[in-house]
C-alpha cells in the first residue's frame, strides 16, 4: 500500500512540530525517517499511524483519505521503542490481541486466531515461547514479539518507532538484519524512525532526512550520502569537514588564495565548502588548502589529523594513510577529491 503525506502541518499547543511536510512512500518499500531528536520524525510517524491528528494537510493510504480515520480504522501495525507489550498477557495472547478485539463479524474463529499467532511466532523465531510472559523475555525477544503482534492484524503499513533504540549494540545489529529479511519476505510497506544514520543507511531502501520539522532530503542511501542537497544533510550523514570560502571567477578562494577547485555554477560571493575527511588527496601545488597539524591520532587503518587551515579560523579534520608521518605543526597541503559548495547562510 502506498502512503502519501500531503502538506501536513502539526502544532502542539501552537508550537510547530512539522511544517508543511509532503512525502510519497512507495508500496512495499522500507523507508527510514532519519533525524536528530526534535526533527519531527516521530511526529510524522505518529501522524501516519493516526496516533496524532494533523493540524492541516492530508494523509492518503492508496487512494483513500486516511486523515478522517481513527487509529483503529487505519489498520496499521505499530512497533514502539519500549515494546509496549501487555504485561499481564502471555506472548500468544499478546500476538492474538488484535484479532480477538475485532467485531464478531470480521473476527476469525478462535482456532484460526491461534494458528495464525503461532505461525507468526514461528516467523519471528520464537516458537515454543507462547506461554511465557513478556517479563520473562529478553529485550530483543520482546521486540520480536511486538513485531509479530503488529503483523498479526495484516496491517496496510508497518510503522516502527526507534524499534532498536532500547537494545544494546550487539542485539541491535542482529535485529536489523533480521528485520530486513522479514521485510523482504512479507513485503509490507514499512516506515521506521531512527536517529542512527548507520542503521538507516544499512537497512532502508530510501531514507528521508528530517530537521527542525522539515524534510531535508529523500533518496536512496547512496544518493543521500554522495549527493547531499543541504549543509544539514552533509553534516548529519557521515563525517564532514566544513570551511568558509569565497566564490570568485568560477573558482573557490580561501584567505585570498584560490584552492584549485572549480566553483561550477555556484553564485559568486561567500560560500560554505563541505568535504568528507577521507575524501582528500595530498598535493604539491600552490592552489590548494594548507594547514598546520594540531593533533594526529591513529584511528584504525587511517590517521585522523586535525589541521588549522591558513586563512580560516576553524580547524578541520582529514584522514591520511596511517603511515603518514604527520607530526605537530607540520604543514600539509591537500585538496578534497569531492566536495560540495553551499551558499553561506
Give residues in contact with other proteins (CB under 8 A). Answer: 49-51, 53, 67-72, 75-78, 80-82, 84-89, 97-98, 101-102, 133-135, 146, 149-150, 152-153
Q: Which is nearer to other proteins, 153 or 292 (CB)?
A: 153
Q: Dihedral, CA atoms, 318, 319, 323, 324, nearest 10 degrees?
A: -20
d(CA 327, CA 294): 8
Q: What is the DSSP letter of 154?
A: -
- Number of H helices and E strands in the chain, helices first, is 9, 20
Closest CA to 299 of 275, 329, 332, 322: 322
Q: What is the DSSP letter of 316?
A: E
Q: Which is nearer to other proteins, 101 or 127 (CB)?
A: 101
Shortest reach from residue 51's CB to other proteins, in Å = 6
Shortest reach from residue 108's CB to other proteins, in Å = 13
61, containing H or E segment: strand 56-61
Q: Which is nearer to other proteins, 88 or 115 (CB)?
A: 88
Q: Which is nearer to other proteins, 68 or 122 (CB)?
A: 68
157, containing H or E segment: strand 157-161
d(CA 76, CA 58): 17
Q: How far is CA 198 from CA 113, 171, 188, 324, in A?
A: 37, 15, 22, 28
Q: What is the DSSP letter of 263?
A: -
Shortest reach from residue 94's CB to other proteins, in Å = 9
Shortest reach from residue 314's CB to other proteins, in Å = 42
Shortest reach from residue 147's CB to other proteins, in Å = 12
d(CA 343, CA 266): 8
Shortest reach from residue 71's CB to other proteins, in Å = 5
Shortest reach from residue 156's CB to other proteins, in Å = 12
Q: Which is nearer to other proteins, 152 or 271 (CB)?
A: 152
Q: Which is nearer to other proteins, 135 or 329 (CB)?
A: 135
Q: Which is nearer to other proteins, 151 or 296 (CB)?
A: 151
The percent helix, strand, coil of the chain (3-state, each to 5) is 25, 35, 35
Amino acid at each position: 500500500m502506498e502512503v502519501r503525506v500531503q502538506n501536513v502541518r502539526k502544532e502542539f499547543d501552537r508550537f510547530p512540530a512539522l511544517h508543511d511536510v509532503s512525502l510519497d512512500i512507495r508500496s512495499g518499500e522500507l523507508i527510514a525517517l532519519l533525524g536528530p531528536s526534535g526533527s519531527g520524525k516521530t511526529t510524522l510517524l505518529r501522524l501516519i499511524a493516526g496516533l496524532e491528528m494533523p493540524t492541516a494537510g492530508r494523509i492518503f493510504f492508496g487512494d483513500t483519505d486516511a486523515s478522517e480515520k481513527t487509529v483503529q480504522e487505519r489498520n496499521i501495525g505499530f512497533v514502539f521503542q519500549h515494546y509496549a507489550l501487555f504485561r499481564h498477557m502471555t506472548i500468544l495472547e499478546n500476538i492474538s490481541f488484535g484479532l480477538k478485539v475485532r467485531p464478531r463479524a470480521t473476527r476469525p474463529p478462535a482456532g484460526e486466531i491461534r494458528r495464525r499467532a503461532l505461525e507468526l511466532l514461528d516467523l519471528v523465531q520464537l516458537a515454543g515461547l507462547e506461554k511465557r510472559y513478556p517479563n520473562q523475555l529478553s529485550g530483543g525477544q520482546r521486540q520480536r514479539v511486538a513485531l509479530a503482534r503488529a503483523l498479526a492484524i495484516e496491517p496496510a503499513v508497518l510503522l516502527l518507532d526507534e524499534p532498536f533504540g532500547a537494545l544494546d549494540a550487539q542485539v541491535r545489529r542482529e535485529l536489523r538484519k533480521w528485520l530486513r529479511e522479514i521485510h523482504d519476505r512479507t513485503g509490507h510497506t514499512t516506515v521506521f524512525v531512527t536517529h542512527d544514520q548507520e542503521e538507516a543507511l544499512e537497512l532502508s531502501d530510501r531514507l528521508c532526512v528530517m530537521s527542525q520539522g522539515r524534510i531535508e532530503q529523500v533518496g536512496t542511501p547512496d544518493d543521500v550520502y554522495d549527493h547531499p542537497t543541504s549543509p544539514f544533510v552533509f553534516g548529519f550523514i557521515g563525517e564532514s569537514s566544513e570551511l568558509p570560502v569565497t566564490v570568485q571567477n568560477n573558482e573557490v578562494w580561501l584567505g585570498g588564495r584560490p584552492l584549485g577547485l572549480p566553483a561550477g555554477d555556484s553564485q559568486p560571493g561567500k560560500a560554505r565548502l563541505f568535504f568528507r575527511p577521507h575524501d582528500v588527496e595530498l598535493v604539491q601545488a600552490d592552489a590548494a588548502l594548507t594547514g598546520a597539524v594540531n593533533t594526529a591520532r591513529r584511528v584504525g587503518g587511517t590517521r585522523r589529523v586535525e589541521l588549522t587551515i591558513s586563512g580560516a579560523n576553524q580547524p578541520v579534520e582529514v584522514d591520511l594513510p596511517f603511515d603518514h608521518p604527520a607530526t605537530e605543526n607540520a604543514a600539509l597541503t591537500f585538496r578534497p577529491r569531492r566536495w560540495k559548495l553551499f551558499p553561506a547562510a
